[in-house]
Amino acid sequence: MPVEKRKPLISGNWKMHHNHFEAIQCVQKLSYMVSKEDFESVDVSIHPPFTDIRSVQTVIESDDMRFILGAQNCHFEEMGAFTGEVSPAFLAKLSVGYVIVGHSERRELFGETDEVVAKKISAVFTAGMTPIVCVGETLEEREQGCTEDKVLSQVRAAVAKRSPEQVGSMVIAYEPIWAIGTGKTATAGDAQSVCSAIRREVIVSSGNDVGDKVRIQYGGSVKAGNAAEIMAQPDIDGALVGGASLDPEEFSRIIQYRLHN
């Protein structure tokens, strides 16, 4: 079905780990381990905490690294009286390319609804960046057989009323909540089946070409040891990696998954 191969995107979500000194070291170490050829085959984004972003930007730019700077969240307004929040426009000014939106930790711990997530997606696009929109089911929902209902309703809310250009350029990350930080991964077959349902949903809402273009990541206990099998699935175009992205050696082996088949 694919018209042209979607370039995989491997993203490292550091969550609330690494201060700005540790962040600089981590990115420098990683850059020694990743080659020019790796970047020909995959895009790599790094999502440090907000307080590290300026430092990481400086390292990336001064050493001409090909990592794409990412953020983990943003507010949906451009400016205003929102104490403690971060404007998407400020992130764009720091050369941030990708912003994670609606991570399950934000949805569960900070009450982000589909409506808030949709506003954030719009704000990220308006600021000229690309959202990585997270969707996923809880263990309870999975056990009740509601995985697709939950995930596809989140996808519908994320793509509703958007132009085909926007939908085609966004990244959707399927992250089953029970697999995050637990060491449990969905089997590659299960992950493929949900990712393929996500693509079908995008085709229904936005057409074949858009469905073909949209990049879908899997996230949830991705490690060097399981990355190749996950990435081999036809509807999985990348990985959103948490814990394993904190260790440059492990993360570099995930980025080089194609060498470890």
User: Rule CB under 6 A: is residue 132 a binding residue for ligand 13P?
Assistant: no
How many Cα atoms are found within 13 Å in the side-chain-facing hemisphere of 54?
2
Nearer to ligand 13P, 174 or 210 (CB): 174
State the Cα–Cα distance between residues 86 and 127, nearest whole angstrom.
Answer: 13
User: Rule CB under 6 A: is residue 180 a binding residue for ligand 13P?
Assistant: yes
Residue span 70-109 as binding mask against ligand 13P, x where in contact by CB under 6 A, dash where not: ---------------------------------x------
The tokens describing 238, both together, are: 């990348």
Helix (H) / strand (E) containing 157: helix 147-159
User: Rule CB under 6 A: is residue 219 a binding residue for ligand 13P?
Assistant: yes
Per DSSP, 16 falls in state S
Size of the site for ligand 13P (CB under 6 A): 14
Q: Which of 47, 75, 103, 141 is catalytic?
A: 103
The tokens describing 119, both together, are: 């506003």
User: Rule CB under 6 A: is residue 242 a binding residue for ligand 13P?
Assistant: yes
47 is catalytic: no
103 is catalytic: yes
Give the residue from 100, 105, 161 showing the smallest Cα distance to 130: 100
**Binding segment (CB under 6 A) for ligand 13P, from list 36-44, 87-95, 115-123, 235-243:** 235-243
Closest distance to ligand 13P from the beta carbon of 242 (Å): 2
Closest distance to ligand 13P from the beta carbon of 130 (Å): 16
State the Cα–Cα distance between residues 23 and 215, nearest whole angstrom.
Answer: 27
Give CA separation, 115 vs 76, 109, 119, 155, in Å.
11, 16, 6, 12
From candidates 70, 220, 238, 248, binder to ligand 13P by CB under 6 A? 220
State the Cα–Cα distance between residues 97 and 157, nearest whole angstrom.
Answer: 23
Q: Which residues bind ligand 13P (CB under 6 A)?
A: 13, 103, 175, 180-181, 219-222, 240-244
Active centre residues (catalytic): 103, 175
